[in-house]
A and B are shown apart, each in its own frame.
Chain A
Amino acid sequence: MMNLVAENLSYKPDEQFHLNEVSFNFKKGNIYTILGRTLSGKTTLLKTIAGLLTPDSGAMRFEDKDFLKVPVWERNIAMVYQQFINYPHLNVFENVAFPLKQRKVDDKEISDVVLNSLKSVGLEGYENRKIQELSGGQQQRVSLARSLVKNAKILLLDEPLVNLDYKLREQLREEFKNIFSQGLSEESIVIFSTTDPREAMELNGEVIVLDEGKVLQVGPAKEIFENPKTLKVAEISNDPPMNILQANMDSNKIKFEGIEVDVPNHLNNVKDKNFNLGIRASNIELSDNGFEFEVELAEISGSETLLHLKRGNAKIITSIEEVMNFNIHDKVKLNFNIDKVYAFNEEGILASSPFGGSYV
Chain B
Amino acid sequence: MSKIDLNNISHSYNPNVPNPVYALNPFSMTWENGKRYAILGPSGCGKTTMLNIVSGLVRPSAGSILFDDKDVTDLKTESRNIAQVFQFPVIYNTMTVYENLAFPLKCRGFSKDKIDERVKSVADTLSLQSFLNSPARKLTADQKQLISLGRGLVREDVAAVLMDEPLTVIDPDLKFRLRRKLKEINEEFKTTLVYVTHDQNEAMTFADNIIVMSEGEVVQAGTPKELFERPNTTFVGYFIGSPAMNLFETEVNSNNEVKINDTVIKISTDLSTIKQKKLKLGIRSEFIEIAKDQKENLITATVEKVEDLGNYKLLTAKIGELVIKSKIKREIEVSSEKVELHIPHDKCCIYENERLI
A residues lining the B interface (CB < 8 Å)? 165-167, 170, 197-198, 201-202, 204, 222, 225, 238, 280-282, 296-303, 308, 319, 321-325, 327-328
Contact (Cβ within 8 A) B187 A328: yes
Min CB distance, A193 to chain B, in Å? Answer: 17
Query: Quick one: which of A204, A281, A299 contacts B205, CB cutoff 8 A?
Result: A299
What are 21 A-B pairs with beta-carbon distances under 8 A? A167-B238, A167-B239, A170-B243, A201-B310, A204-B307, A225-B310, A281-B311, A297-B180, A297-B183, A298-B205, A299-B205, A302-B243, A303-B241, A303-B285, A303-B327, A319-B311, A322-B286, A324-B225, A325-B223, A325-B225, A328-B183
User: When chains A and B are docked, how far (Å) is the Cα of A207 from the Cα of B308?
Assistant: 15
User: When chains A and B are docked, how far (Å) is the Cα of A201 from the Cα of B310?
Assistant: 7
User: When chains A and B are docked, how far (Å) is the Cα of A323 from the Cα of B223?
Assistant: 10
Given contacts A297-B179, A302-B242, contact A323 B229 (CB under 8 A): yes
Most chain A CB atoms below 10 A, which of B176, B205, B287: B205
Q: Which residues of A contact B307 (CB under 8 A)?
A: 201-202, 204
Asked if B249 lies at the interface with its beta carbon under 8 angstroms from chain A, I say no
Contact (Cβ within 8 A) B310 A165: no
- Select from chain A the residue with minimum beta-carbon distance to B171: A38
Contact (Cβ within 8 A) A297 B242: no
B171-189 CB mask vs A (1 if < 8 Å, else 0) is 0000010011001100100
- Select from chain B the residue with minimum beta-carbon distance to A297: B180
Query: Quick one: which of A202, A280, A301, A321 contacts B201, CB cutoff 8 A?
Result: A301
B residues lining the A interface (CB < 8 Å)? 176, 179-180, 183-184, 187, 198-201, 204-205, 223-225, 227-229, 238-239, 241-244, 284-287, 307-312, 327, 330
Q: Which residues of A contact B201 (CB under 8 A)?
A: 166, 299-302
Given contacts A165-B198, A297-B179, A301-B201, contact A282 B308 (CB under 8 A): no
User: When chains A and B are docked, how far (Å) is the Cα of A315 from the Cα of B65?
Assistant: 44
Most chain B CB atoms below 10 A, which of A201, A204, A303: A303
Known: A170-B243, A322-B229. 8 other contacts (CB 8 A): A204-B307, A204-B308, A282-B310, A302-B241, A303-B243, A321-B327, A325-B224, A328-B183
Given contacts A299-B179, A327-B187, contact A198 B242 (CB under 8 A): no
User: When chains A and B are docked, how far (Å) is the Cα of A325 from the Cα of B183?
Assistant: 13
User: When chains A and B are docked, how far (Å) is the Cα of A211 from the Cα of B307?
Assistant: 26
Contact (Cβ within 8 A) A297 B176: yes
Min CB distance, B35 to chain A, in Å? Answer: 12
User: When chains A and B are docked, how far (Å) is the Cα of A296 from the Cα of B204?
Assistant: 16
Q: Which residues of B contact A282 (CB under 8 A)?
A: 310-312, 330
Query: Quick one: which of A170, A198, A301, A302 contacts B310, CB cutoff 8 A?
Result: A198
Contact (Cβ within 8 A) A201 B308: yes
Contact (Cβ within 8 A) A323 B309: no
Contact (Cβ within 8 A) A300 B180: no
Query: Quick one: which of B179, B183, B228, B310 contacts A323, CB cutoff 8 A?
Result: B228
Q: Which residues of B contact A321 (CB under 8 A)?
A: 286, 312, 327
User: When chains A and B are docked, how far (Å) is the Cα of A6 from the Cα of B22?
Assistant: 59
Query: Quick one: which of B205, B238, B244, B327 contacts A300, CB cutoff 8 A?
Result: B205
Min CB distance, A17 to chain B, in Å? Answer: 22
Given contacts A281-B311, A300-B204, contact A167 B225 (CB under 8 A): no
User: When chains A and B are docked, how far (Å) is the Cα of A303 from the Cα of B239?
Assistant: 11
User: When chains A and B are docked, how far (Å) is the Cα of A303 from the Cα of B174?
Assistant: 22
Contact (Cβ within 8 A) A201 B309: yes
Q: Which residues of B contact A166 (CB under 8 A)?
A: 199-201, 242
Min CB distance, B143 to chain A, in Å? Answer: 18
Q: Which residues of B contact A296 (CB under 8 A)?
A: 180
Min CB distance, A296 to chain B, in Å? Answer: 7
Given contacts A299-B179, A301-B201, A303-B241, contact A322 B284 (CB under 8 A): yes
- Select from chain A the residue with minimum beta-carbon distance to B188: A328
Q: Which residues of B contact A165 (CB under 8 A)?
A: 198-200
Q: Which residues of B contact A322 (CB under 8 A)?
A: 228-229, 284, 286-287
Min CB distance, A332 to chain B, in Å? Answer: 16
Contact (Cβ within 8 A) B205 A202: no
Min CB distance, A227 to chain B, in Å? Answer: 13
- Select from chain B the residue with minimum beta-carbon distance to A281: B311
Q: Which residues of A contact B241 (CB under 8 A)?
A: 302-303, 323
